[in-house]
Amino acid sequence: MQIKIWNGKVLGVAPQDRIIPWAVFRPDRDPTAHLPALTGPSPFEPTYQEKTYAATLLEASPGAFRSVTVTRPSLAQVSASRPASTAKKFSLLQDIQDGQFVDLIGEIIKIYGNDSEKATLYLTDYTKNENLFLYASDDDDDSGHGREGDPYGYIQRQKKNWNGPVGRMSIQITLWEPHASFVRGNFNIGDIVRLKNVKIKWSRVEQGSLEAVVHGNRANPGETNAFPVDSNNDPRVQQLLARREAYWNARPKKQKRKPNEDNERPSKKPNKKQSKVAPKKESGQTILDIKKRMAVNEHVEPRVPPSGVHAQSLEAILNNPAHDNTSTSGIRYRLPFQNLCYLTTVRVVDFYPPLLEDFAVHKEQVSLAYNRKRDPASRTFRIWEWRFCLLVEGSFPATVGQSNERAKLFVSNYEAEHLLQLNAVE
């Protein structure tokens, strides 16, 4: 391919008689997700070096690509401005700003490592920064403590699974290889870690919030920027531990609900006498009408394409005439599958596997940071993924003498993460 300048723009010209492979890398709106590259004219898998280089360009690019006129500063100007913008030094979260390269020491709140090429780390050093994301506590009440199908609150609401400090004290950090594999294999939640050469930048997803990223070293691809700390001799670590202790000592515990604020929940282990008594209708209890029982779960949001999709019933989807086809020889048959996007409302009536613990499965992944001399046992690490099946039926009750249409939904890892808002773990 030849690169030319046409009308002041860079233009690539490919000969007509040659086939040139191309790949389009798209930015991830969700840092825990992974969008595969679009390749052509024949599909192929980009190399690790190509993926890493493309990820570096995406991280360095603004939220929206645009053409700019670049002026070449003098050598003296570059030399004078570089130390101010790329200086690598230790910093607290309360002092970080966009565009800095800093060293951080903090406690690991969460580790998301389902992606084989990167990991997402949530770190805190118990200092406040108004430009960080605001995290709420599991103890904070929401509009209702009951769950779907539990209007009287017998089952406690689902936890948000945030065990770190509340407020703007934590930062999300994306680790690329080889740092991702090293952190997954050597650190756990609650450990103190030191990260070197961390780039601070504005988040594309959470507007107005700072996040961070740690890229690989092109000069030394095997070098990692994550290190354990010495809690006895490092004063920075001792100060962090003191702030952590002071925070949790001052953190008030959740107050129990008063009896008049919430319905009394039955004991999880009723005695034998209670089990023999037939359940009675509680005072003030009313039977839910059909509208409330058929209400859609507000906590489940479908991913709808920008062009929009009209909602259809499950019966209309399964009986879509587009699934029927006629061959050139006149034979009529039904297509085994089609790549179509539907929007519908269904009710889950059964699931598989029968044990919820089996919804998550694991596989062994080869670590890119494997060093046989340093740690022979760290060649592979375990990755957990969601994989289960739901049996669903139409949301509205069937007419007399008929039954609702049912279908099996096979839920893979990324779809399950969007549905459950949880990452698969052991």
Tell me the CB-side half-sphere exposure of residue 405, using CA atoms within 13 A.
12
pLDDT at 145 over 60: no
Q: With pLDDT > 70 as the criterion, what percentage of the chain qualifies?
A: 67
Higher pLDDT, 262 or 233: 233
Of the pLDDT bands very low, low, confident and very high (cuts 50, 70, 90), residue 327 is confident
Query: How does the average pLDDT of the chain come out, rounded?
Result: 75
Distance CA 366, CA 381 (A): 7
Q: Average of pLDDT values for 60-76?
A: 48
Distance CA 230, CA 301 (A): 45
pLDDT at 310 over 70: yes
Higher pLDDT, 405 or 265: 405
Residue 176 near residue 49 (C-beta atoms within 8 A):
no
Higher pLDDT, 231 or 66: 231
Structure tokens at 133: 């994301």
Q: Which range has the worst mean pLDDT, 201-210, 225-234, 343-352, 406-415? A: 201-210
Q: Checking phi first, is residue 99 left (phi over 0); if not, alpha (psi -120 to 50) or beta? A: left
Tell me the CB-side half-sphere exposure of residue 143, using CA atoms within 13 A.
3
Distance CA 109, CA 200 (A): 18
pLDDT at position 30 is 52
Helices (H), 38-90: 48-60, 75-86
pLDDT at 381 over 50: yes
What letter would DSSP give residue 137?
A: P
Listed by start position, the domains of the chain span: 2-59, 100-137+164-250, 301-420
The CATH homologous superfamily for domain 100-137+164-250 is Nucleic acid-binding proteins (2.40.50.140)
Distance CA 96, CA 85 (A): 12
Distance CA 149, CA 299 (A): 13
Distance CA 372, CA 67 (A): 47
Distance CA 333, CA 330 (A): 10
Q: Which range has the worst mean pLDDT, 356-360, 395-399, 404-408? A: 395-399
Residue-wise pLDDT tens digits, 6-53: 787 888 887 777 778 888 887 765 554 556 778 877 777 788 778 778
- Nearest Cα neighbor of 297 from 397, 389, 395, 393 is 395
Omega within 30 of 0 (cis) for the link into 178: yes
SS3 249: helix
pLDDT at position 420 is 81
User: Residue 292: in which H helix or E strand, if any?
Assistant: helix 290-293
